[in-house]
Amino acid sequence: MEIGIDSFAAIGKLNSDGSPVSSAKVLAELLETIELADKVGLDVYGIGEHHRKEFLDSAPTVILSAAAARTKNIRLTSAVTVLSAADPVRVFQNFATLDLISQGRAEIVAGRGSFIESFPLFGLNLQDYDELFAEKLELLLAIRDNEVVNWSGKFRAELKDQAIYPRPLQNPLPIWIGVGGTKQSFIRAGMLGLPLMVAIIGGETHRFRPLIDAYKQAGKFAGHPPEKLKVGIHSLGYIANSTEEAIESYYPGYAETFTKIGKERGWPPVTRPHFNSQIGPLGALVVSNAEEAAEKILRHSEALGGISRFTFQMVNAGLSQDQLMQAIELIGNKVSPLVNK
């Protein structure tokens, strides 16, 4: 199983004197974490895409390209590329360039995104949410599979005998589909035979099994071999030397972040009992020591019928850079070996 990290390049941390950490320092520290993840043998590092004040990841391929110059082995991916609000030609060109810079380590996780700020920003109609994604995914796959493209659609000018460069080192460039809880998204990924990255940020992980089964059934119906239908999980988590330390370090920032998001989405404020349920045996969050984390990841895999990738999302304003670096070392040196043993 591949083990990795995802980051949203969040701002909001404070220096020791109480002043906010500068945006430049946030990005410098992010690159340090990617470099360390590579050194301790993690398999993949993903950068999200948001267009909000709280995050610095509006240009993820720029961050990933900077990371490519400082790493040797780790795969570099989006988490996710908000394809509905992007031009597939530029998405492909950006990631093909990243693939060349990284010597064949780039991947795309394409999704619709969990926030909607990109729609007004780029002059798009939110009512076209799914139709935009479906059409743009079709074009992105056409570009990946063909150097010269002929294509027409509803939301973009057609392409006639249009050659698109550069071409990536990998052939084909890996494209995953990032999904939340919409069944149609799972089925679409299966019909296309694309690997699936499932964001499970709350609730009980086993409840996603019917959706993953629908994905695999759709893939089988479309004639894709089982080994092509890979499943990964993106989950909130944090690892420390002891479970007690992990919980006490992680909870304040988690509560602050999700209470703030909850105000936008009509969710109730986060409470400690709710958090405790999420870090329990069936809950989605992996907040513990390394040994318990490995056991929980394996339980998740069994509950979902087998997964091939697990990524920790550790964005949390309450965690210091030293704590994040320690967590990455523990994941690389202990969690990953225990899972794969």
**Whether pLDDT at 24 is above 80:** yes
Return d(Cα 274, Cα 176) in angstroms, integer: 31
DSSP character at residue 220: H
Average pLDDT, the chain: 95
CB 162 within 8 A of CB 149: yes
| pLDDT score at 213 | 98
Decide: residue 166, CB within 10 A, 0-12 exposed, 13-18 middle, 19+ buried.
Answer: exposed
| pLDDT score at 262 | 83
| pLDDT score at 257 | 87
**Whether pLDDT at 317 is above 80:** no
Return d(Cα 80, Cα 299) in angstroms, integer: 25
**Residue 33, CB-side half-sphere exposure with 13 Å CA sphere:** 33
**Cβ contacts of 32 within 8 Å, gap of 6 or more:** 321, 325
Return d(Cα 111, Cα 211) in angstroms, integer: 16
| pLDDT score at 16 | 81
| pLDDT score at 315 | 82
* Confidence label for 78 from pLDDT (cuts 50, 70 and 90): very high
Averaged over 11-21, what is the pLDDT?
Answer: 86
Cis, bond preceding 231 (omega within 30 deg of 0): no
Tokens encoding 38: 């590579």
- Residue 161: give the domain boundaries: 2-340
Number of domains composing the chain:
1
The model's pLDDT over 273-299, given as tens digits with 9 standing for 90+, comes to: 999 999 999 999 999 999 999 999 999
* Out of 251-255, 307-311, 333-337, least confident range: 251-255
Residue 52: give its domain's CATH number. 3.20.20.30
Nearest in space to 95 (alpha carbons), one of 80, 84, 114, 112: 80
Q: Give the percent of the chain with pLDDT over 90.
A: 88
Number of Cβ atoms within 10 Å of the Cβ of 4: 23
Q: Where are the alpha helices (DSSP H) in the chain?
A: 23-39, 60-68, 88-101, 118-121, 129-145, 183-192, 209-221, 243-265, 272-278, 290-303, 321-330, 336-340
Question: b/e for 211-244, b at 16 or more Cβ within 10 A?
Answer: bbebbbebbeeeebeeeebbbbbbbbbbbbeebe
The model's pLDDT over 88-102, given as tens digits with 9 standing for 90+, comes to: 999 999 999 999 999
- In this prediction the pTM is 0.96
**Whether pLDDT at 188 is above 90:** yes
* Out of 115-129, 164-178, 223-237, least confident range: 115-129
